[in-house]
Structure 1
């Protein structure tokens, strides 16, 4: 099966890497595991050996039939031809059982997938994802680093993150030009309570990274200057320098008076 450039497909071919990724999920025999983008079944092969139930969500309908043939002897595998961005993960565990999730994801859907997983984070006990290394560096970036951005803060608010290992281009076909990295996410029970307002604040604050936080947020709220002062945040700082605690303080002050109809 030829990879589709339009879908950003690079199929994982390295068995050792596949097994290592699956091992990072710490699967026990009663687990239900969600796989996004099974592709040619590199991870699926190891998942069906370990988990009680595997639900593989594949967007590319041309891959569904080959996967059904490949795994026809594995009754614990369910294949869904669907867009993971529209799947309600809560419906896959109606009894409240915590799911585990694994995925090898293309660059072009990294942000929307992460936002979807944040929204449904309490469905999962842990998540293991493989992205381009550049994306993982952005996700895990600490304050005052150049990689720090909207996605860094959004993920830090929702998950404990751990970068596990790097994967060379030769592990895939077609061979990409960049390295990949594997990251593990463990959901936090408590996040900023108004998720929509928090995303809106972060999006505005990081809109132009060379500007100060005051300049980026002037149009967001008329109360930005007193809010920064009350949160003990220098208005001359840039968004990437703020810690998660500082974001929570600022968001708590601003979002309480923010017009909900505008987001």
Structure 2
């Protein structure tokens, strides 16, 4: 089904680490479980290690690639799929993913994300959550730990709260450095994000929620009383049945939403 790929050296400026461990690749594919009726999207296909398996299972794929040297290699490698393999030479950070939705089927997004842009890219993708069925990403393990952390855990913070506001978050398994070429200096991990069709807690204004969370964690060792002082008083926090003496990492998402909605109503 494919031609032999042309040699390509990983580029540091794109944060490229190409996956080559076939056992890990198959484990990722089993976790994703692509189907021929799915609308599959891959961010940063690289040399096509995952792409090959995704196409074999789903038969059709849109890929977004920033490195201009890679699309010709990928088009050659997957020429037999014709117009069922579509590559978009674009920056995923600026890409409008809604254009890829061609039916009532939501997007299933997959990617081995560069460490240097992973958190910004995930926030960008969360803005398209209504168009997404699920997302499976390879990320730095530290980032996955932060996204999956719950209240009271050391890694719990802005990234995890906002990811968990929009999605069910599952840390699946760790991927060692040796699975890549070149090998990164840290462990990676696979994460699954499944956007909620109905949010467990609804913020009146998501931008206000983001402001509350960001402000609360400006100095995470300080209490809510101190950190949220620019937004509301300790008495107002207490009136929401929240202890202003708590540190922000102790608060569940529902409390952050309650503070946000109070501030939205206060403004109006």
Q: Paired residue for 2:155, among 147, 152, 169?
A: 147
Q: What corresponds to 1:58 in structure 2?
A: 65
Secondary structure at the counterpart of residue 30 of structure 1: coil
What is the 5 A alignment of 1:19-168?
19-75=26-82, 76-168=84-176
Secondary structure at the counterpart of residue 245 of structure 1: helix
Structure 1 alignment gaps of length 5 or more: none
Q: What corresponds to 1:229 in structure 2?
A: 238
Cα distance, 1:258 vs structure 2: 4.1
For the 8 Å contact 1:25–1:126, the answer to whether it is kept is no
Cα distance, 1:53 vs structure 2: 2.3
Cα distance, 1:225 vs structure 2: 2.5
Q: Deviations over 1:70-106 (max 9, x none)?
A: 1111222101110111111111114332110111112
Q: Deviations over 1:162-221 (max 9, x none)?
A: 1111111000010111111101111112242411111111111111111112211212x2
Q: Paired residue for 1:199, among 191, 197, 210?
A: 210
Structure 2 alignment gaps of length 5 or more: 1-7
For the 8 Å contact 2:172–2:190, the answer to whether it is kept is yes
Structure 1, 47-56 or 126-135: larger mean CA deviation: 47-56
For the 8 Å contact 1:10–1:175, the answer to whether it is kept is yes
Distance of 1:5 and 1:203 partners within structure 2: 30
Q: What corresponds to 2:3 in structure 1?
A: none
What root-mean-square deviation, in Å, do the aligned CA atoms of Structure 1 and Structure 2 show?
1.4
Q: What corresponds to 2:260 in structure 1?
A: 251
Distance of 2:239 and 2:161 partners within structure 1: 21
Distance of 2:96 and 2:267 partners within structure 1: 29
For the 8 Å contact 1:101–1:127, the answer to whether it is kept is yes
Residue 24 of structure 2 is aligned to residue 13 of structure 1: no
Shift in alpha-carbon separation, 1:224–1:73, aligned structure 2, 3 A: farther
Q: Deviation above 4 Å: which 4+ runs of structure 1?
A: none
